[in-house]
Chains A and B, each alone.
Chain A
Amino acid sequence: METTQMLESIEKVLKPFAQSFNRPSAERLDAVVKAEDLKAAVKAMVDAKWLYLSTITGLDIPAPADQPDAEGHIEALYHFCEGEAIATLRVSVPYSHPVFPSVCEFMPSATLGERELMEMFGVVVENTPSNERLVLPEDWPQGVYPLRKSFTGLNKG
């Protein structure tokens, strides 16, 4: 099946779970999904035979400088690949409630990505199979998330 057709077809599959869609480029589809719909969306992908979750990208989106009362968000991008096509589920959670559900039930390979989100961005992934740190050292201070924009380095002590 050709790339455009594949993306059209997966868009239909995701329609019940997504809030909006975007086509950033010819081979890419972005679907904005709420955290509570994430598991269902992943299950739908797997059922539609999109079985390859290439990786999960975390993004830190702090409140804009001119709106100090607004809230920062963490966005996670679940990139599914099939041939040339990349379908990305975009899920955003606020700093005040940075909770994602684990998708390992349907996509076991997601565990490494979930571990990285937790230690680098400070999200909580509920029911994730492993909470162990992935790349940060054991003595890394709790509560310090290197990939947040607010992190500018550990003070050498």
Chain B
Amino acid sequence: MEKTSDGKFIVPIGAQHPALKEPGHFEFAVEGEIVVGASVRLGYVHRGIEKGCENRNWIQAMYLTERVCGICSHIHATAFALATEKLAGVEVPARAQAIRVLISELERIHSHMLWLGVAAHEGGFDTLFMYSWRDRETVMDLLEAVTGNRVNYSANVIGGVKFDISPEQKETILKGIEFLEERSQHYMEVVTTDETFTGRTRGIGTMPYDDAIRLGAAGPTLRASGVARDVRTDSPYAGYKLFPVNIITDTAGDLDARFIVRIKELFESYRLVREILDNLPEGELSIRVPRRIPAGEAIQRVEAPRGELFYFVQSEGGENPSRVKIRTPSLLNWASITNFAPGHKLADMPMILAGIDPCFSCNDRMITVRDVRTGQVSNLEDLKIR
């Protein structure tokens, strides 16, 4: 526990495991046990990536965007590649776009399972954490089988993809998906019928439909409040034009709904993966793109596991991008929490935070708690023990 110069105690929230700390800053103001205010202060993971892209050529910049976040790295690179391809005016082969989507869905699966374990841990459901992370290893294996790496797959090139899917890989993936689907049935049972679980999640952290829109929430968090917004359907990109997605929503808008939506999205991803594998278009894996990208501005929106990811890419006709703007979905969800957290008990905060699936690296966070009556500042860990 460190004390900063202005007397605040700052300790990372005990995220998925007591030992694993993510840096960031999120402050709750409390009166006794009730949260009366919340504010966002990011920065510990700020690496200057947008500026970094301006000092790298297009290919190097893509490798940089992949590492905005280790959990959703493929979707970042895909968005950047798609935007650049728009500027270059090239038509990426259908097979490549389909493979991009296949890997995006595998990434979504791994991300949702990772989140499931984290959120379960926050609620004290460590068995669910261990099971979901064990099961997640299956999808890590599938990603490694196709791309050669468990994390930061680098499947994209500007103009297409690097890897093809062989018939053997297809069989491996299908087997893996079958296993995961069975396991996901089990998770669904837990989150809908286990009373200790629903006791911690039903009616907690409720964000009504209108608020979800007004606060600018994103992804499963938004859809759990009944808002049918999903970039894959609203503005289909890459292979989603060929392989449409069903939007998953829930009406309850509470923490339990956020669990349910993500698990249902797992099933939808399993369906998509099977459909893509059975209907993979023939063709090339990539199209050649010039070193210098024609001048212009391109916008690409994609559906990352956490919600809409927004890329604005500008070229001045050179070998480097002149501006890359990246707006991650977690930023939107942070903002929504500052609005619906007040009124809740402090003890509900860890699970509520987990409920928006904050990507630690897309945006960093740490939690401090300030009692507005006494002015005392402490960290969430202290209060958990109390």
Q: Which residues of A contact B (CB under 8 A)?
A: 24-25, 27-28, 51-55, 57-59, 77, 79, 81, 83-84, 86, 108-109, 111-112, 130, 132-137, 146-147, 151
Contact = CB atoms under 8 A, between A and B. Distances in A.
B175 interface: no
A52 B234 CA distance: 13
- A-B CB proximity, top 5 nearest: A109-B216, A55-B327, A135-B46, A84-B235, A57-B325
Contact of A132 (B41, B214, B215, B299): B41
B370 to A, nearest CB: 14
Given A28-B299, A134-B42, A147-B50, A54 B327 contact: yes
A52 B43 contact: no
Given A24-B297, A57-B325, A112-B331, 5 more contacts: A24-B296, A52-B216, A57-B312, A79-B312, A84-B234
Contact of B215 (A55, A109, A146): A109
Interface of B: 39-43, 46, 48, 50-51, 86, 213-216, 229, 234-235, 296-299, 301, 308, 310, 312, 314, 323, 325, 327, 331-332, 334-335, 339
Given A24-B296, A55-B327, A86-B299, A77 B335 contact: no
B214 A108 contact: yes
Contact of A147 (B42, B51, B299, B334): B51
Contacts of B41: 132-134
Contacts of B39: 130, 132
Give chain B's interface secondary structure class.
mixed
A27 B334 CA distance: 28
Contact of A55 (B42, B234, B325): B325
B308 A54 contact: yes
A25 B331 CA distance: 27
Contacts of B214: 51, 108-109
B215 A134 contact: no
A77 B312 contact: yes
A53 B46 contact: no
Contacts of A137: 43, 46
B245 to A, nearest CB: 14
